[in-house]
Structure 1
Amino acid sequence: MDLLRSQTDEHVLRALMRHRRLTRAELAAEIGISKPTAGESVRRLAERGLVADTGERTPGGRGKGRVGSYYALAESAGMALAVSIAPQGIVGEIFDAYGDTADRLEHSVGRPAAPADVAAALERVCWELAAGAGPPRLAVVSAADPVDRATDRLVHLPDAPFLVGELDPVAVMAAHVRGPVTVDNDVNWAARAEREHAGEDFAYLYLGEGLGCALVAGGEVIRGRSGFAGEIAHLVTTGPQGRAMPLIEAFGRLGVRLPGTTAIDAGAVLAADRRAVGAAVAGVVAAVVALVDPGLVVVGGTWGPALLGAIEEGVAELARAVPLKPAAVTKEPALAGARRAALERLRAAVVGDAAQDSSGS
């Protein structure tokens, strides 16, 4: 009986997440249960602080039937936080289980971006969001740097263009988030945002100031033992004059780095020898195809899609070609992926509250 009630409560909560507000009669029709069963579930969930009467009523009376009360998720269901840590700065969004954004804040960071500066900006954004909307139940963080899978710390690898040193987002955010903080690389989150457009087996090639690749197999991102899978900067490819060299060195030889850094200058890349750029990127695609055999390579980033034609020409000369397409999610793709994951986890947490209360009652 407890299992049946728990399942019914889950269906009610998920129906409210889809439709925002429903009467008990509408819940019964949506889920396929009796009105008394729907009413009992609503009562239980209201007692647990998960569902609330909105105060709105159906236009009943005078031959139109009984007046129905509209129910929705209670504010106490909580909120989630999604954060992007990138060269452009820190962006944070806090939102409820409907996906409605309560607040969004941005905080720039200088260059070079030392860990202490990034940590201060990150804490400020989290503090201000929590102060306004209340501490979120959980957070998901996208970082424009490699992320150690065991510690969730950002790690500085050779020629990484953003952070200098290490940063621990979980420790920085702990005082402002009530529950778990999940951290992963920005390219991995961008790939997750792309899944509904690209399927379950593809590679996501990010070509911007930084260079990265996410590998998706069976719908899951392959992170590798340490979490550094897809770090392609030092992958050997075809450089200028057909010489073999690391990808990051090839871009150095082409003169398309920002002065004094290993970051790629998008304007300089677009003005460079497109055939040479295409050949360098095609070498990376060849390695990905040989090792992972993806059904598709999605090209994203600030300059990658603009040079898709040149990359396709290089890929066409490979022994094993693969179809390429530009990324479908172009507006803050990493934050979009992190936000979607945070929303899914928040909804699962709300459903888990109902199940936990049911088992403990």
Structure 2
Amino acid sequence: MDTAKPSQDLVRSLTDEHVLRALTRHRRLTRAELAVEIGISKPTAGESVRRLTERGLVTDTGERTPGGRGRGRVGSYYALAPSVGVALAVTIAPSGIVAEGLNVYGDGVASVARPGEPSRVGETLIEAVAGVRDAVDQPIRLAVVSAADPVDRVTGRLVQLPDSPFLVGALDPVEILSAYVDGPVVVDNDVNWAAAAEGQDDFAYLFLGEGLGAAVVDDGGIRRGSSGLTGEIAHLLTVGPQGRAIPFIELFGELGLRRPGTTAIDAERLIASPTAVREMIGTAVGGVIAAVIALADPGEIVVGGSWGPSLISEIVAATARMPRQVPVRATTRTGSPASAGVRAEALRRLRASLTARG
């Protein structure tokens, strides 16, 4: 049996990691409180605080415990240093760009929103991110970005596909943000981030809005494919008018439900459509779901987007006629699920980077 003891360096590293995690949970602690919280001796906690202070990760807040007159020695409160930095969470959509700075506790410390202008999306992104940088006055350690377009998983660039609404436009967020971020820039499409916000391990997320998309989550991981384009469902063949086979995206053109001059779907007009049109769209979505089930075998189908949940009755009725049955429901998420997914990942990565530095 191997009875070798861990090295002192490993023990110190693990202790420092526990101290950083404890300060992330509690924001400020004395060395005595750290010892109790982690289950280590006071001298060991004190040594860890000393090491982390020297590295600029922990700081003395200047606050003291009462102490004296039978209350024991005065204790100093320690907290994570401002130099641990913030994470940047960015959403890029046709309506505009929102950049938010998050500290290691998950607090939003700065937020800048700019209206969408397709002709200058790069400049707008720079303005939003520079605004956050100037407001937080702390290093931006990393960035997580959601974009309302397909994303190349290798480069992080936005990809234009045939007949895609291409809602944002040509953009390379990694290149743009590298001037503002010390560490990595992670980019993915909004559908994948919305799926991540659902917090499930085995399902498919169908995004039905101005654009069309899907995300497949298997064993808790999003399947992106070799180039990052898994879930691009616009060209799947499905059932159209008079029972004809038709690419999914073309259905909305035939029904007159596209916005003028683009393939973007007019959600308001679609929702207000007559019952027969809504049922036809529900049947088409059912055909897409049948393909997703055949290829991905998800445990559940979750329908999101600006108009998908409004047609959930028609969609469920269509899927009830399919030979393979999988539960189908509308998302319960409100607000911007993609933004929630981006924020959660930005916070997770910032905390991981902190403990790695410890």
TM tier relative to shorter chain? over 0.9
Q: Is the 8 A contact 2:147 2:168 kept in 1?
A: no
Aligned residue among 132, 145, 148 for 2:135: 132
Alpha-carbon distance between aligned partners in 2 of 1:73 and 1:232, rounded to the nearest angstrom: 45
What residue identity is the alignment partner of 1:149?
R
Alpha-carbon distance between aligned partners in 1 of 2:330 and 2:35, rounded to the nearest angstrom: 43
Q: CA deviation at 1:164?
A: 7.1
Q: Deviations over 1:144-171 (max 9, x none)?
A: 0011112111011112223475311111
1:56-75 matched pairs, under 5 angstroms: 56-75=63-82
Q: Is the 8 A contact 1:282 1:315 kept in 2?
A: yes
Alpha-carbon distance between aligned partners in 1 of 2:32 and 2:141, rounded to the nearest angstrom: 31
Q: Is the 8 A contact 1:87 1:162 kept in 2?
A: no
Q: Secondary structure at the match of 2:29?
A: coil
Alpha-carbon distance between aligned partners in 1 of 2:287 and 2:72, rounded to the nearest angstrom: 69
Aligned residue among 187, 202, 208 for 2:191: 187
Q: Deviations over 1:230-255 (max 9, x none)?
A: 00111111112222111111122222
Using the size of structure 1 for normalisation, the TM-score is 0.92
Alpha-carbon distance between aligned partners in 2 of 1:101 and 1:150, rounded to the nearest angstrom: 29
What residue identity is the alignment partner of 2:116?
V
Q: Is the 8 A contact 2:148 2:168 kept in 1?
A: no
Q: CA deviation at 1:212?
A: 0.7
Aligned residue among 154, 160, 168 for 2:158: 154
1:1-361 matched pairs, under 5 angstroms: 1-110=8-117, 113-114=118-119, 117-134=120-137, 135-163=139-167, 166-195=170-199, 199-272=200-273, 273-354=277-358
Q: CA deviation at 1:279?
A: 0.7
Aligned alpha-carbon RMSD (Å): 1.5
Q: Is the 8 A contact 2:309 2:331 kept in 1?
A: yes
What residue identity is the alignment partner of 1:36?
P
Q: Is the 8 A contact 1:156 1:164 kept in 2?
A: no
Moved more, 265-274 or 136-145: 265-274
Alpha-carbon distance between aligned partners in 1 of 2:244 and 2:34, rounded to the nearest angstrom: 66
What residue identity is the alignment partner of 1:255?
G
Equivalent residue pairs, number:
347
Q: Deviations over 1:98-151 (max 9, x none)?
A: 1111110111123xx24xx11111111112211222341111111100111121
What residue identity is the alignment partner of 1:276?
M
Q: CA deviation at 1:312?
A: 0.7
Alpha-carbon distance between aligned partners in 1 of 2:299 and 2:340, rounded to the nearest angstrom: 23
Q: Cα–Cα, structure 1 residues 143 and 332, in superposed 2: closer, same or farther, change >3 Å? A: same
Corresponding residue for residue 357 of structure 1: none
What residue identity is the alignment partner of 1:147?
V
Q: Secondary structure at the match of 2:125?
A: helix
Moved more, 286-295 or 245-254: 245-254
Unaligned runs of 5+ in 2: 1-7
Q: Is the 8 A contact 1:205 1:300 kept in 2?
A: yes
Q: Cα–Cα, structure 1 residues 295 and 170, in superposed 2: closer, same or farther, change >3 Å? A: same
Unaligned runs of 5+ in 1: 355-361
Q: Is the 8 A contact 2:210 2:266 kept in 1?
A: yes
Alpha-carbon distance between aligned partners in 1 of 2:72 and 2:136, rounded to the nearest angstrom: 39
What residue identity is the alignment partner of 1:129?
V
Q: Deviations over 1:189-238 (max 9, x none)?
A: 1111112xxx2111111111111101111111100011100001111111
Q: Is the 8 A contact 1:209 1:266 kept in 2?
A: yes
Q: CA deviation at 1:79?
A: 0.9
What residue identity is the alignment partner of 2:314?
A
Moved beyond 6 Å, runs of 4+: none
Q: CA deviation at 1:62?
A: 2.6
Q: CA deviation at 1:74?
A: 0.5
Q: Is the 8 A contact 2:101 2:110 kept in 1?
A: yes
Aligned-residue identity in percent: 63
Q: Secondary structure at the match of 2:201?
A: coil
Alpha-carbon distance between aligned partners in 2 of 1:27 and 1:131, rounded to the nearest angstrom: 34
Q: CA deviation at 1:266?
A: 1.4
Alpha-carbon distance between aligned partners in 1 of 2:22 and 2:208, rounded to the nearest angstrom: 40
Q: CA deviation at 1:5?
A: 0.5
